[in-house]
């Protein structure tokens, strides 16, 4: 699975859990999760690579979901775990 496919899966996970996705030019390296007035947003910096955005997205997924209690494709689970420093599958 390539970085773009992983990113797409991660963005779907966030969107499916009431996180609004914003794709904007932020100068590179600025993707991340934030909360504004009781709403969660994930800002995807279009100036960053798919890998950089996916890494930030994986960290955001781990913050809003307990990944141990849901089914994730093995490649997605492994990517998230690598990004947050847990054991690898």
| Partners of 32 in the β-ladder | 43
Q: Do β-strands 39-45 and 32-36 pair in parallel, antiparallel, or remain unpaired?
A: antiparallel
Which helix (H) or strand (E) element contains residue 35? strand 32-36
pLDDT at 28: 82
Q: What is the mean pLDDT of each run of 10 residues along the chain (89 residues)?
A: 94 96 89 94 94 95 93 95 70
pLDDT at 86: 55
């Amino acid at each position: 699975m390539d970085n773009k496919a992983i990113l797409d899966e991660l963005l779907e996970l966030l969107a499916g859990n009431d996180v609004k996705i914003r794709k904007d030019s932020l100068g590179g390296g600025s993707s991340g999760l934030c909360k504004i007035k009781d709403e969660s947003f994930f800002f995807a910096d279009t100036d960053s690579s798919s890998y950089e955005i996916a890494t930030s997205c994986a960290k955001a997924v781990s913050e809003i979901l307990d990944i141990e209690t849901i089914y994730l494709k093995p490649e997605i689970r492994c990517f998230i775990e690598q990004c947050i420093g847990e054991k690898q599958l």
